[in-house]
Amino acid sequence: MSDTLDTSALGEKIVNVLKTIYDPEIPVDIYELGLIYDVFVNEDSDVKILMTLTTPNCPVAESLPMEVEEKVKSLDEVKSAEVEITFDPPWTQDLMSEEAKLELGML
């Protein structure tokens, strides 16, 4: 029996946590909004999340990444978590899931 970490299972848990975090201005979680570009999990349970914000001047530019980091770190399996903000590519409504677009009356 191996003690190797199931990184895909942990990745799914992380996505479930991300789906509990909402942009305060939009009633949709940040994952469905398309703000999460990538979630990296290595065998040491270190997590790196590449995300963006709706705009560079987003009012939650300081607090939202910290909330993401704290909530991901709260998972028992996660040893460390780091959030990196990028604006390349810039966020557009095209990155939103069908569910998010439906929630916002865009479909």
User: For position 51, which CATH number holds?
Assistant: 3.30.300.130
Q: Is residue 99 part of a domain?
A: no
Q: Is residue 37 part of a domain?
A: yes
* DSSP tag of 22: B
Q: What is the pLDDT of residue 5?
A: 65
Residue-wise pLDDT tens digits, 68-96: 999 999 999 999 999 999 999 999 999 99
How many domains does one find in the chain?
A: 1
Q: What is the pLDDT of residue 2?
A: 43
Return the amino acid letter for 91: W
Q: Is residue 100 part of a domain?
A: no
Q: Which residue stretches of the chain have pLDDT < 50?
A: 1-3
Domain that holds residue 17: 7-89
Q: How many angstroms from the chain centroid is the CA of residue 99?
A: 16
Instruction: Show the tokens assigned to 56.
Output: 């560079």
